[in-house]
Structure 1
Amino acid sequence: MTLRLLHYSDVENAYDAPDRIGRLAGTVRARRDADTLVFGTGDNTSPGVLPLVTRGEQALDFFAAVEPDADTFGNHDFDYGPDRALELVDRAPQPWLCANVRRDGAPFGRDHDVHPWRVFEAGGARVGVFGVVTPKTASINPATGDVSFSDPIVAAEAAVEALREQDVDYIVCLSHLGRGDEQLATAVDVDVVLGGHNHAETVERLGDTLLTRPGANGEILFEIDLPAREVTRHIVVEGPLNESIRDAMADRMAAAGVDDRVATVEEPIERTEAACFGGESRVGNFVADAYRWYADADVGLQNAGGIRSGPPLTDEVTVGDLISLVPFEEPLAVAEVSGATLRRAFAQGEGSRLGFGEPDWWHAHVSGATLVYDRAAGDLREATVGGEPIRPDRTYRVALSDYLLHSDDEFPALDEHHRVDRLEVQYRVLEAYARELSIDPQVEGRIKWV
């Protein structure tokens, strides 16, 4: 008998596109039978406009329609705090598997439907499944509160040992590690790693282990056949439509009250992965400019991962469109830093050391500054602020997401002791800027490669 796995991950702002989330649900249901297991690998409740407005509630509609066999946590599944995450677990039809999350000295969610591992039967096979999430979750998501995240490799080894004792035919890992998937696949004896967190679509064979990551926003569903380990890629927009899910999301979006127009954009502003992570872009400049303007700062700094990809901003731009760009209840902060620290932060804009992206991604969008970077050498050659070279002993005022002062993952040169103020929530800053100055960013040579 053939066992089929269906793998979705990082659904995120697909909920804001009713037709797409309806087709993801329809594609899952169309490909499912008695020999199939359906798994999600994190960030399937948030972020997005509807996730922000409903605090993840909208995901329950999707889960009820597709009835996953299991999901694991992603970093964004804690966006509304650990207690809200457990509320959603209690109301979702599937168990949640995560072996490296703890709270109060005990496994997180042990009194709820959260488990380190579980055995499923399908396709004539016994399948042992466990989950892990990036240990950087507490650093990259301040809302995790008192939840801690341990070494995923140690947790995976313990889960595999326990599952081997259950006489399983296959072991599958549900992973939200990003580029840590590759290490897990080579270090731990598993048959399949179903990955997430890294939004780059991936199908890779590492020795005897198959690794898949379907990318973000519900655009791709992977189908894996075992024992052949063949992978079929389903393009969701070409799939069948689940009209009930489409209508449910459309109704939720209409009720959200985010369709107030704030500006008109004549030349569409792209929000593709390339626009977010490829260096200077119009969308990055818009966000960074809004931050600098609102805070009356020397520099605006926006991390590329904080800008969510999606349809271009064009024609009548609404409040909802701006929320979808930075869909977090995160305030704009003001930091005061020395020129030496600011230069170190700018140098950390390259992406090779980050676990959620690709090595050639660029992570810094700036306003009020220009950067010249030697990518081959991994070196920031030049940096100016206000047209002048950065002075190491001068203090600079930087407007940025408060998240960047909490996280030691992105721009670790900046931390909470640099904060001098917290201002309005980020998307409200974009709204104020758009209403006052409209939206017409240009690429100006702020970031250059040599």
Structure 2
Amino acid sequence: MFAAAVSPGVSLRLLHYADIENAYDDPERIGRLAGLVDHLRDEETVVTGAGDNTGPGVLSLVTQGRQALDFFQAVDPDVDTFGNHDFDHGSDALLSVVDDSPQPWVCANAFQNGERFAAAEGAIPWTVVEAGDRRVGIVGVTHPETATINPNAADVRFTDAIQAVETGVDALQDENVDRIVVISHLGDDTELARMVNVDVVLGGHDHEALVERIDGTLVCRPGGTGRYLLEVSFDGDRPRATHHTVTDGPLDTDITATLRDRMDTAGLTEVVGTVEEPIVCDLQACKRGESRIGNLIVDAYRWRTGAAIGLNSGGGFRRQPPLTGDVTAFDLVGVTPYGADLVVLTIDGKDLLATLRHAALARAADGLPRWHFSHVSGAELVWDDAKNELQKARVDGSPVDPNTTYEIATTEFFVANDDLFPAFGPDDVVASYGLQYEAVVEYARETGLDPERDGRIQRPTLEAGDVPERDWPFSP
């Protein structure tokens, strides 16, 4: 199924990408993806995208997704649709990207304030693209649960995708089209392919590359993070799909240089510290409780704010290769690549004890594994995994006093989301200190990078066999 060679000339060809996501953090990969599109494209080619092509990622975080415009302007796609991560920076940031994009955005099931989402910026539910002497009708849809998957899309309403596509197909059949294609960010397109009569579904959301036929419809996905470019060729009435390996593609040096310039301009390539002993960022380091990387992050929160306690959940870090040698701002932002502000809140000792009990994420609503645990600074905890209870809790060396008020530094995400730490909320916030990852970078720059484990979280009854083996380099 996978190939690197160029396909022979055909009467109609579709080139499709999706879920580019953090590939922008590797400018050469984006340069080769753009170069491969240019290499395969001719006047009878339609270039499409199926969402999550503006983020997430470090560069996306610091540019509000606008780094994707470099790729869009280089490739000049014919259409793109929305994915859940395209809303990572809120609908206003996405609307700005849509407004400045060269391609039309096509989505039939997204609405805002009673109107089609981004209609004022040129988004449309379906369109017809001419490729040589062929007319290709294209309908776009995104996952109907996008607003649940990504709370930053909460102001957008997503309707049933199959009904939206059926409406689009009916309209396109009156447009004298030769082929009808759906660009979909649904992940699983099985039901869609069974229910609607189209030639091809070009998918996204699921990062596994795919080619299959469902009731006569070709259903395919390119896979995630810009590893493959999907080609669909029409030779006769039966379309065929091929995945081209992006690393084998020619390099577009202009876009590679442009993305590197963006990194330089954002200060991401600045060396902010040197690490003697590698700081591990694997599954256990991120999610088991105290670790050097966890202490680094929450110590930075407390250092920046002066709060008595720093707090972050076990899911608040991203796994990546160990930090070693010269560490850049890019490396540190990659550990916590989230655009949430660092805030300080005040709660009494009773609520603090409840919060520290919830640091054991086994109590979380989504049923996380019992060995998951949060990270703290300024506090010392002893957690009994056998009894599933907090045995001891100290702040600045003293037991937590239920009648004393305490300040906690954490991110606004945990304040707004009560699934993990329900003992505090937005009304408890007293100050904001800017983007949380900026505090981590500043801390490293000012104090150095030599975090240590100091026993602040002790779990004497945690059985080693209950915790998976260290599993780097698998993704989070």
From 324, 337, 354, the counterpart of 2:334? 324
Q: Secondary structure at the match of 2:327?
A: strand
Q: Tell me, yes or no, if structure 1 residue 175 matches structure 2 residue 184.
A: yes
Deviation for aligned residue 1:223: 1.2
**Normalized against structure 1, the TM-score is what?**
0.75
* Distance change (3 Å), C-alpha of 1:167 and 1:386: farther
Q: Structure 2 matches for 1:190-209, cutoff 5 A?
A: 190-209=198-217
List gaps (5 residues or longer) in structure 1. 351-361, 369-384
Q: Structure 2 matches for 1:374-385, cutoff 5 A?
A: none
Q: Tell me, yes or no, if structure 1 residue 387 matches structure 2 residue 387.
A: no
* Distance change (3 Å), C-alpha of 1:202 and 1:302: farther
CA deviation profile, 1:365-403 (whole Å, cap 9, x unmatched): 7548xxxxxxxxxxxxxxxx8431324999999987644
Deviation for aligned residue 1:172: 1.7
* Distance change (3 Å), C-alpha of 1:406 and 1:393: farther
Residue in 1 aligned with 2:108? 99
Residue in 2 aligned with 1:240? 250
Q: Secondary structure at the match of 2:39?
A: helix
Residue in 2 aligned with 1:380? none
Q: Secondary structure at the match of 1:165?
A: coil
Residue in 2 aligned with 1:230? 240
Hey, what's the Cα distance between the residues in 2 that align with 1:184 and 1:318?
45
The one-letter amino acid paired with 2:367 is Q
* Distance change (3 Å), C-alpha of 1:288 and 1:332: farther
The one-letter amino acid paired with 2:388 is I
The one-letter amino acid paired with 1:150 is T
Hey, what's the Cα distance between the residues in 2 that align with 1:269 and 1:215?
31
Hey, what's the Cα distance between the residues in 2 that align with 1:233 and 1:207?
22
Hey, what's the Cα distance between the residues in 1 that align with 2:392 and 2:175?
63
* Distance change (3 Å), C-alpha of 1:82 and 1:205: same
Deviation for aligned residue 1:286: 6.0
List gaps (5 residues or longer) in structure 2. 1-9, 303-307, 394-399, 401-405, 454-461, 470-476
Worse-matched range after superposition: 10-19 or 309-318? 309-318
Residue in 2 aligned with 1:257? 267
* Distance change (3 Å), C-alpha of 1:433 and 1:116: same
Q: Structure 2 matches for 1:77-92, cutoff 5 A?
A: 77-92=86-101
From 69, 76, 98, the counterpart of 1:67? 76
* Distance change (3 Å), C-alpha of 1:241 and 1:75: same
Hey, what's the Cα distance between the residues in 2 that align with 1:67 and 1:171?
21
The one-letter amino acid paired with 1:303 is G
CA deviation profile, 1:66-103 (whole Å, cap 9, x unmatched): 11010111223233333332232222211000111111
The one-letter amino acid paired with 2:467 is K
Residue in 2 aligned with 1:219? 227
* Distance change (3 Å), C-alpha of 1:281 and 1:392: closer
**Normalized against structure 2, the TM-score is what?**
0.72
Q: Secondary structure at the match of 1:232?
A: strand
From 437, 449, 455, the counterpart of 1:438? 449
Hey, what's the Cα distance between the residues in 1 that align with 2:203 and 2:423?
31
Q: Tell me, yes or no, if structure 1 residue 343 matches structure 2 residue 362.
A: yes
Hey, what's the Cα distance between the residues in 2 that align with 1:91 and 1:319?
28
The one-letter amino acid paired with 1:130 is V
2:274 and 2:448 in contact (8 A); partners too = no
CA deviation profile, 1:338-367 (whole Å, cap 9, x unmatched): 7689534275337xxxxxxxxxxx997754
Q: Tell me, yes or no, if structure 1 residue 14 matches structure 2 residue 17.
A: no
* Distance change (3 Å), C-alpha of 1:17 and 1:99: same
The one-letter amino acid paired with 1:438 is L
Q: Percent identity?
A: 41
Deviation for aligned residue 1:303: 3.4
Hey, what's the Cα distance between the residues in 2 that align with 1:48 and 1:132?
23
Residue in 1 aligned with 2:315? 303
Residue in 2 aligned with 1:161? 170
CA deviation profile, 1:245-283 (whole Å, cap 9, x unmatched): 112112222222223333434676788xxx6xxx54669
* Distance change (3 Å), C-alpha of 1:364 and 1:38: farther
* Distance change (3 Å), C-alpha of 1:18 and 1:394: same
Deviation for aligned residue 1:184: 2.7
Instruction: Count matched residues.
Output: 410
The one-letter amino acid paired with 1:387 is W
